[in-house]
Amino acid sequence: MSISSRPLLLLRFKIKYPDNFFLLRGNHECASVTRVYGFYDECKRRCNVKVWRAFVDTFNALPVAAVVAGKIFCVHGGLSPDLVTMEQVRALARPCDVPDHGILNDLLWSDPSDTAADWEENERGVSYCFGRAVITEFLRRQDFDLICRAHMVVEDGYEFFHGRQLVTVFSAPNSCGEFDNSGAVMNVNEELLCSFEILKPLAENLATCMARIEAAFWSRRQQVEAMLNEALAVQAQKELELAEAAPPPLPEPGPAAAPEPQRVPPRKQRIVDQLDLSDDDDEDDDEAPSDRLHVDPESVLHGTPPRGSKLKHFPDAS
């Protein structure tokens, strides 16, 4: 979720549930801090500067503290050395920017400390750190049972301090992408008993998410395979019905009978028959007229064309 989407989501919840959804101002909900941590840049990049100014005007109007059932004091940061009664909180003018010092600044920036006797300088360079004695005195004077605050990254998402008189609740797991802390949400029932819902860091959330995606994938794959098998079965049934309804195929014609070969007498035999070579002809050769065509029997047997023929003669042919 982008930086600008988070306050938008919270504001939508406030609009939808105005009587049981309450927003408190934190130290980041001011013009100077939003310029440092990217909120201003995102508003300017995605929309314009007017959108950022509208957010800042909304931040300046947010309340800074709340009391649950008259016993649980809720604030983003902590206590202030100038805070004596709740009337001082109610008297804070709104809308207003966060000043450099004073009750409003301390309520948004101060932190509890194990080492502080009462009040000491804060390592953040803003506001103070307060000790156990300050917490006990504040609860006694205001008749509260618990201080609930945020403002610090804690490993398990929540952490008690000073005998469960103060609890830090940090709801963002993997803060800034630099820590492996869990997030937490505190629930308070009608009897003012507190319980916590833990938001695991990204590594565990990612494993759970991947397992859910994998289960959904295999479930979807089984559904697709079932649909595919059903479609194939329907197609096979249609093909079977079409095959049964089609007329029987015509018989294929057999192979054509081969034509009988034509008997052609051998060329040599025909020539010999035409010439009628015989013993009688040999005896009459001397009496034959001189103009008779002379045929050499040997050349006839070898297929040599007679003299006067137009066929070409290839002496090398045998």
Q: Give catalytic residue positions.
A: 28
DSSP structure string for 169-218 = E---SSGGGT----EEEEEE-TT--EEEEEE--HHHHHHHHHHHHHHHHH
Angle at 193 between CA 109 and CA 165, to 5 degrees: 40
Which of these, 200, 78, 89, 201, lies nearest to 151 by C-alpha position?
78
Which of these, 114, 126, 127, lies nearest to 166 by C-alpha position?
114
Helices 49-60 and 5-16 cross at an angle (nearest 10°) of 50
The Cα 21–Cα 23 span in angstroms is 7
Peptide bond preceding 95: is omega within 30 degrees of 0, i.e. cis?
yes
Other beta carbons within 10 angstroms of residue 102's beta carbon come to 13
Q: Tokens representing 118?
A: 């009462």
| Four-point Cα dihedral 12, 18, 21, 27, nearest 10 | 70
Which of these, 181, 207, 185, lies nearest to 194 by C-alpha position?
185
